[in-house]
């Protein structure tokens, strides 16, 4: 069985992954992208991008395994009905840490304090009585837009601080876990009106694209914090920029963006978010930790083992026709 791996994030875990593969696997690594010829006799392809051109070359392929949750770069229309596509997660704990850290950082104005002290100003109520004393995280109400692996892991951490919470999802159903209420996305406006921190981790679909716009951000309010770890276009780009620049909301942590450097370096947005003082900007890195990719390497190796033994795979996102 030939396995072609084209995901650079797995390279630090090469020994771990290869040691867990079944006997008889021949592994070829192409972290910069697999050449077409390497796919011709491959049984398994591991990577986030699979095109129609790649499908036409991969004559013996049985499994495409994404080393992450997102499968939006897989051309499913070109994938043969005999080829399975699977994904893997393990990012929820890492992203949950980011969410909670960002909530504390932004609600207590630590970004502004850091910048002020670099300029020689002690921006704290101790030295400037015009600055208000800010609340701890335990006083916050958390609103989850989407409540899958990420939302649940973040909620477990927020609960430890004493926060209250609510959620909206596509179905309106969430497991019993101590939220005050949950509903479908028809209650999005209510959620944003009631919460102090909005955590966006919903999947990007035709229905969810742009679901949070200027009106929803206005409901979040001048003390509200938005944290987007889902996909950039869930939040309308211009609406978010205007809400931040006009102080319609307090601050935002943005880990997912509107443009990516797939074809070379670029700014993450056409709008100058980098000039705003109330934004934590990160390069889609909230889930990029050693823990995440160790778990993903283990999942991929385990699924390849199942494939070799003729067993059912886990996390299959398409089905044989």
Q: What is the CATH number of the domain that holds 232?
A: 3.40.50.720
pLDDT greater than 70 at residue 319? no
How far apart, in whole angstroms, are the C-alpha atoms of residue 104 and residue 161?
11
Let me know if residue 314 belongs to a domain: no
Output the CA torsion sign for 251, 254, 258, 262: positive
User: With left for phi above 0 and alpha for psi between -120 and 50, is residue 306 left, alpha or beta?
Assistant: alpha
How far apart, in whole angstroms, are the C-alpha atoms of residue 223 and residue 36?
52
Quick one: 129 and 260 in the same domain?
yes
Let me know if residue 317 belongs to a domain: no
Quick one: 82 and 167 in the same domain?
no
pLDDT greater than 60 at residue 320? no
Quick one: 149 and 64 in the same domain?
no
Let me know if residue 244 belongs to a domain: yes
Quick one: 17 and 126 in the same domain?
no
Q: Within 13 Å and on the Cβ side, how many CA atoms surround 154?
A: 34
Quick one: 136 and 164 in the same domain?
yes
Query: Which residues are paired to 169 by β-bridges?
Result: 184
Q: Count structural domains, the chain.
A: 2
Quick one: 83 and 46 in the same domain?
yes
How far apart, in whole angstroms, are the C-alpha atoms of residue 246 and residue 51?
42
Alpha helices by DSSP H, the chain: 14-20, 36-39, 52-57, 92-107, 110-118, 149-161, 188-194, 214-220, 237-245, 290-309
Let me know if residue 302 belongs to a domain: yes
Quick one: 24 and 173 in the same domain?
no
Quick one: 276 and 154 in the same domain?
yes
Let me know if residue 110 belongs to a domain: yes
Per-residue model confidence as pLDDT tens digits over 178-192: 999 999 999 999 999
How far apart, in whole angstroms, are the C-alpha atoms of residue 267 and residue 288?
20
Quick one: 127 and 156 in the same domain?
yes
Per-residue model confidence as pLDDT tens digits over 19-57: 999 999 999 999 999 999 999 999 999 999 999 999 999
CB 77 within 8 A of CB 56: no
The domain in which residue 58 lies consists of: 2-90+290-309
pLDDT bucket at 70, cuts 50 / 70 / 90: confident
pLDDT greater than 60 at residue 119? yes
How far apart, in whole angstroms, are the C-alpha atoms of residue 26 and residue 262?
29
- What is the mean predicted confidence (pLDDT) over 238-263? 96
pLDDT greater than 50 at residue 284? yes
Quick one: 49 and 63 in the same domain?
yes
Instruction: Name the nearest CA neighbour of 283 among 16, 98, 152, 101.
Output: 98
Mean of pLDDT over the chain: 96
Quick one: 173 and 236 in the same domain?
yes
| pLDDT recorded at residue 321 | 38
């Amino acid at each position: 069985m030939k396995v072609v791996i084209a995901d650079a994030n797995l390279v630090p875990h090469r020994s771990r992954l290869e040691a867990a593969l079944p006997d008889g696997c021949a592994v070829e690594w192409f972290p910069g992208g697999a050449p077409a010829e390497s796919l011709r006799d491959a049984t398994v392809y591991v990577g986030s991008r699979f095109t129609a051109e790649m499908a036409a070359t991969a004559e013996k392929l049985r499994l495409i395994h994404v080393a992450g949750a997102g499968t939006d770069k897989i051309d499913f229309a070109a994938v043969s009905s005999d080829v399975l596509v699977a994904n893997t997660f393990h990012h929820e704990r890492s992203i949950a840490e980011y969410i909670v850290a960002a909530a504390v950082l932004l609600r207590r104005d630590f970004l502004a304090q850091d910048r002020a002290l670099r300029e020689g100003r002690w921006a704290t109520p101790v030295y400037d009585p015009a600055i208000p004393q800010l609340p701890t995280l335990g006083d916050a109400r958390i609103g989850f837009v989407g409540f899958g692996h990420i939302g649940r892991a973040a909620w477990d951490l927020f609960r430890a601080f004493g926060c209250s919470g609510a959620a909206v999802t596509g179905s309106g159903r969430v497991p019993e876990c101590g939220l005050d209420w949950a509903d479908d996305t028809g209650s999005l406006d209510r959620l944003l009106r009631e919460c102090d921190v909005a955590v966006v981790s919903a999947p990007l679909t035709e229905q969810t694209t742009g679901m949070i716009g200027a009106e929803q951000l206005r409901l979040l309010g001048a003390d509200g914090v938005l944290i987007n770890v889902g996909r950039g276009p869930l939040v309308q780009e211009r609406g978010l920029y205007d809400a931040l620049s006009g102080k319609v909301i307090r601050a935002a942590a943005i880990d997912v963006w509107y443009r990516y450097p797939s074809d070379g370096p670029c700014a993450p947005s056409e709008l100058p978010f980098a000039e705003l003082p109330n934004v934590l900007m990160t390069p889609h890195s909230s889930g990029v930790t050693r823990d995440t990719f160790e778990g993903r390497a283990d999942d991929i190796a385990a699924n390849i083992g199942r494939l070799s033994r003729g067993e059912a795979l886990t996390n299959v996102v398409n089905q044989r026709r």
